[in-house]
Amino acid sequence: MKAMENWNTKVLPSDDESIAQAAALLQAGEVVGFPTETVYGLAANAYDTKAVAKIFKAKGRPQDNPLIVHIASLDMLSPLVSEVPELAKKLAKAFWPGPMTMILPKSDRIPDAVSAGLSTVGIRYPSSETARKMILASGLPLAAPSGNLSGHPSPTTAAHMLHDMNGRIPMIIDGGECEVGLESTVILVKPDRVRLLRPGGITVEMLEEICPVEVDNGVLHAVAPDAKVASPGMKYRHYAPVAEVTIVEGSLPAFDRYMQQQARDGVYAMVFDGDEKGLPVPALPFGKEGHPEDQAYRLFDLLRKCDDLGAKKVFVRSPDQSGIGLAVYNRLLRAAAFRIVKLEDEE
């Protein structure tokens, strides 16, 4: 690991001059950190196997976990895939640019390093202006995973990304806080329906306006390490702070009583705004109850804060699973390694 920490990582504002510098680095086969509307990504030329290898090295990412490819116009799509099914066209029209990644049959131009040997490739057309400008300035489709060290929460600010990548990459473009805060919705496109592999900002309810949606078992359930999964990313523990995270189901009074038993140094509670009163441990407010957008926006920052605070255990009130709440719950399940406590209400 030490050998690669030799960059003096620059954090530059998202102006035209910095974007031109980023584009030059990408064309020269280097990696660059950049903002999107979901999370920060670590980009490289998707056609350049050596450049793509630098992404895996900087993140410490397992080689069998494929990367998604970012485009900034529909014209960029056809060289990357072997076909564009009618349903994919409809979904693109409805949700691109935006936080949706479609898994499609790949073309021969996609190197194995990007697809991890699969016959498919994930394509995303981000809505972030900085992301789009960077893709257009480089003139390249950009392979980019989230810009965290493998296993850490995805970065939603340039500071998060610098924390993980300082010395490991030449540059990060700072576009401020990411609007959504959780990674894109990943769907496998079938002829007449889609399979949801990772929930995100384009919700099941939104997709259902276009076609039927099957939710993959891996969205809400742990998969065995040796299981054959639709999306390799499902296998890995994710988004985990050093602290042990537990999801707690039940009413607020039941939660408060439970926290009385758990209270000791290093224990924190992630609760909805306004529910901090009467808690015997420090609270990390998690957005208003029933406002899953707030929770999506704050989740990864809070998980990183847990590490800054030296938290040993964090108990989280289980959020609502509708809309983007399903994505919040999916990330929390992984942060908690599927640890859930169900509380009964007292008579």
How far apart CA 316 and CA 279 sit, in angstroms, is 13
Residues in contact with Mg ion by CB under 5 A are 145-146
Binding partner selected for residue 151 from ligand TXA, Mg ion, none, CB under the kind-specific 5 to 8 Å limit: none
Q: Is 142 exposed, middle or buried (0-12, 13-18, 19+ CB in 10 A)?
A: buried
Point out which residues bind ligand TXA (CB under 6 A): 36, 38-39, 41, 65-68, 99, 101, 103, 115, 118, 120-122, 124, 144-146, 183-184, 186, 197-198, 230-233
Task: Name which of 23 and 121 has its Cβ closer to ligand TXA.
Answer: 121
The closest residue (CB) to ligand TXA is: 233
DSSP bridge partners of 194:
189, 213
Q: What is the rounded distance in angstroms from the CA atom of residue 125 to the CA atom of residue 270?
A: 33
Distance from C-alpha of 164 to C-alpha of 259, rounded to nearest angstrom = 32
Q: Which does 41 bind (CB under 5 to 8 A by kind): ligand TXA, Mg ion, none?
A: ligand TXA
CB of 20 to ligand TXA, least distance (A): 21
Are 213 and 193 in contact by the 8 Å Cβ rule? The answer is yes
Contacts for 120 with CB less than 8 Å, ≥ 6 apart: 103, 104, 105, 106, 188
Q: Which does 66 bind (CB under 5 to 8 A by kind): Mg ion, ligand TXA, none?
A: ligand TXA
Residue nearest to Mg ion (CB): 146
For ligand TXA, the closer of residues 214 and 249 by Cβ is 214
- Is the Cβ of residue 149 or residue 309 nearer to ligand TXA in the bound state? 149
Q: Taking each helix axis from N to C terminus, what angle separates 325-335 and 292-308, rounded to the nearest 10 degrees?
A: 20
Structure tokens at 65: 């976990």
Query: Which does residue 84 touch among ligand TXA, Mg ion, none (CB within 5 to 8 A, set by kind)?
Result: none
Q: Which partner, Mg ion, ligand TXA, none, binds residue 115 by CB below 5 to 8 Å per kind? A: ligand TXA
Q: From ligand TXA, Mg ion, none, which one binds at residue 128 (CB under 5 to 8 Å depending on kind)? A: none
Q: In the block, which residue shows the tokens 């974007």?
A: 19
Q: CB of 171: closest distance to ligand TXA in angstroms?
A: 16
Q: Which two tokens stand for residue 148?
A: 């965290």
How far from chain centre, in Å, is Cα 53? Answer: 20
Q: Which residue's CB is nearer to ligand TXA, number 231 or number 318?
A: 231
CA pair distance 239, 87, nearest whole angstrom: 32
CB closer to ligand TXA out of 39 and 87: 39
Tokens of 63: 């080689």
Least gap, CB of 263 to ligand TXA (angstroms): 35
Nearer to ligand TXA, 116 or 254 (CB): 116
Encoded tokens for 336: 């908690």
CB of 283 to ligand TXA, least distance (A): 29
CA distance 326 to 299: 13
Least separation in angstroms between residue 202's CB and Mg ion is 17
Which of the choices Mg ion, ligand TXA, none does residue 243 contact, using the CB cut-off of 5 to 8 A by kind? none
Question: Which of ligand TXA, Mg ion, none lies near 287, with the C-beta cut-off 5 to 8 A by kind?
Answer: none
Nearer to ligand TXA, 84 or 259 (CB): 84
Q: Which two tokens stand for residue 277?
A: 């009163």
Give the three-class secondary structure for 180. coil
What sign results for the dihedral spanned by CA atoms 274, 279, 285, 286?
negative
